[in-house]
């Protein structure tokens, strides 16, 4: 730490601080950091994105494989597995929420919901999780109502005690953007604790895309992590239905199975298989057009990572 060289006890030569493998893995860790769009209150040149706001990540283009650190370990060592996070972590002590103001768009990361608020898909097409203003403990924590019976929204809210779920909170695995007030519009973004997803895991389930027909490899996903939405298919048919509670929702495989079991249209709890499926969004309260790269759904086909 004082800057002096550390010598090899065998050769007497200085030990390198880092090697080419470190440069390579750190370069992979720095993939897909992009500039924010230009905004009107700063100078720019020929419309180039601004150089003031923090960069954001596009997760669809991100290198997803393990990355080493400088100490012969891996980035993420000692962090919990995402699959081991407690059920409804978003209601537990320490859960963190960040105020987004009147915009439902999460900052610093695109994907998942970006397509819903492009120029041809206005904000009012997005269905957000809405909390019960009377009975939800999470609403009370985010509202922070004062003696004047007015919400006093804080930039960052960290739960100081675990809360009981109410209504739709009991039916989801994890929220994303939450609408706390409609007039004026106020949104909070849930920040999941830092956790690690393993490249290799036990037997998975194939998730596939709603828009591709014919042979398609799909992706082998960990059923213990909320990776896709549910697709329930009546026996002998290839048209599925989903029952999401907000736009861009993802659920665990067990939650997807439970939703199929509880819906009276699917008495056998039929999950869709891997054949060509056309998922019907019209049965949901969040029927928003979904592009092929965001429409992953669980299937009942087992898979193994090799």
Smallest Cα–Cα separation from 299: which of 244, 238, 214, 243? Answer: 238
Express each pLDDT in 245-272 by its tens digit. 887 788 999 999 888 888 756 555 577 7
Q: Is the peptide bond before 184 cis (omega within 30 degrees of 0)?
A: yes
Query: How far is Cα of residue 170 from the mean position of the Cα atoms in its chain?
Result: 18
Tell whether the model's pLDDT for residue 292 goes beyond 50. no
Mean pLDDT in the chain? 82
Mean pLDDT of all residues in 86-101:
94
Instruction: Say which residue, 222 or 44, is predicted with more confidence.
Output: 222
Mean pLDDT on 33-49? 72
**Tens-digit pLDDT profile for residues 20-35:** 888 888 888 888 888 8
- Span 59-85, mean pLDDT? 87
- Mean pLDDT of the region 171-177: 92
**In this prediction, what percent of the chain has a pLDDT beyond 70?**
78
Residue 120 reports pLDDT greater than 60: no
Whether 291 has a pLDDT exceeding 60, the answer reads: no
Percent of the chain with pLDDT over 90: 37
Residue 8: the pLDDT is 95
User: Which pLDDT belongs to residue 119?
Assistant: 40
Burial class (CB in 10 A: 0-12, 13-18, 19+), 131: buried
pLDDT of residue 277: 61
């Amino acid at each position: 730490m004082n800057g002096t060289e550390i010598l090899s006890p065998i050769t007497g030569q200085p030990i390198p601080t880092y090697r080419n493998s470190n440069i390579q893995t750190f370069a992979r860790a720095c993939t897909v950091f992009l500039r924010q769009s230009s905004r009107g209150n700063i100078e720019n040149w020929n419309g180039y994105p601004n150089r003031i706001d923090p960069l954001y990540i596009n997760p669809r283009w991100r290198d997803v494989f393990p990355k080493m650190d400088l100490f012969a370990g891996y980035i993420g060592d000692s962090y919990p597995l995402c699959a081991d996070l407690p059920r409804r972590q978003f209601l537990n002590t320490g859960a963190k929420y960040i105020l987004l103001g009147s915009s439902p768009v999460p900052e610093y990361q695109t994907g998942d919901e970006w397509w819903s608020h492009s120029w041809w898909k206005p904000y009012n097409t997005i269905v957000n999780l809405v909390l019960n203003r009377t009975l939800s403990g999470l609403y009370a924590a985010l509202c922070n109502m004062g003696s004047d019976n007015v919400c006093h929204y804080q930039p960052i809210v960290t739960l100081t005690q675990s809360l009981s779920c109410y209504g739709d909170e009991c039916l989801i695995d994890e929220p994303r953007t939450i609408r706390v007030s409609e007039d004026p519009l106020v949104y909070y973004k849930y920040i999941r604790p830092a956790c690690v997803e393993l490249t290799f895991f036990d037997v998975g389930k194939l998730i596939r895309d709603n828009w591709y027909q014919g042979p398609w490899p799909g992706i082998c996903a960990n059923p213990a992590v909320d990776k896709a939405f549910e697709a329930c298919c009546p026996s002998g048919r290839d048209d599925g239905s989903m029952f999401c509670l907000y736009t861009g929702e993802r659920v665990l495989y067990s939650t997807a199975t439970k939703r199929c079991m509880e819906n009276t249209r699917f008495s056998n709890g039929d999950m869709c298989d891997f054949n060509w499926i056309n998922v019907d969004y019209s049965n949901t309260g969040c029927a928003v057009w979904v592009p092929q790269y965001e429409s992953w759904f669980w299937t009942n086909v087992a898979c193994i990572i090799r």
